[in-house]
Amino acid sequence: MLNSRFAIQIHIVSLLAISEEYITSEFIASSINCNAVLVRKELSLLKKAGLVTTQEGNNGGIKLIKNPRKIYLDELFTITYDGAELFAGNKNTPNPLCTIGRNINLMMSGINGRVEAGLLKELHRTSIADLVSDLKK
């Protein structure tokens, strides 16, 4: 199973999408039920990507600045795992004296590429607005 970062980002952005004003990272963390530092780390990436803005100091917090209709899940996925080669698997160096050992990393990298491209295409079909409108029905 993947780590929870992608799920955390979706949670964060969904929560922001239904919130009118600034909400705090502690509030978000208590909704997710995880540590607020994890939330702030993801927020840092979301901010860098231009999805949210933050207000430091008293009564500060986080606010969504990108239209949730235009936030597709592939964007979040890319923000989370960019360049990670999620499906390539093994980190051990395979035996170069074996035909498969010599080639497996390239094979896996190819598989990873095709799979990831398909994945992003699928994720692009759903926006945060879709997700939160579903739950309002």
Partner DNA sequence: TTATCTGTAATATTTTTTATTACAGTACAA
Partner DNA sequence: TTGTACTGTAATAAAAAATATTACAGATAA
Binding residues for DNA, rule: CB under 7 A, are 1, 3-5, 24-26, 33-38, 40-41, 43-44, 47, 54-62, 90-92
Binding partner selected for residue 58 from a second copy, DNA, none, CB under the kind-specific 5 to 8 Å limit: DNA
Q: Using the minimum distance from each CB to DNA, give the nearer residue, 37 or 135.
A: 37
Rounded Cα distance, 26 and 33, in Å: 10
Binding partner selected for residue 59 from a second copy, DNA, none, CB under the kind-specific 5 to 8 Å limit: DNA
Binding partner selected for residue 100 from DNA, a second copy, none, CB under the kind-specific 5 to 8 Å limit: a second copy
Handedness of CA 86, 87, 92, 95 (dihedral sign): negative
**CB 60, min distance to a second copy, A:** 20
Rounded Cα distance, 32 and 27, in Å: 9
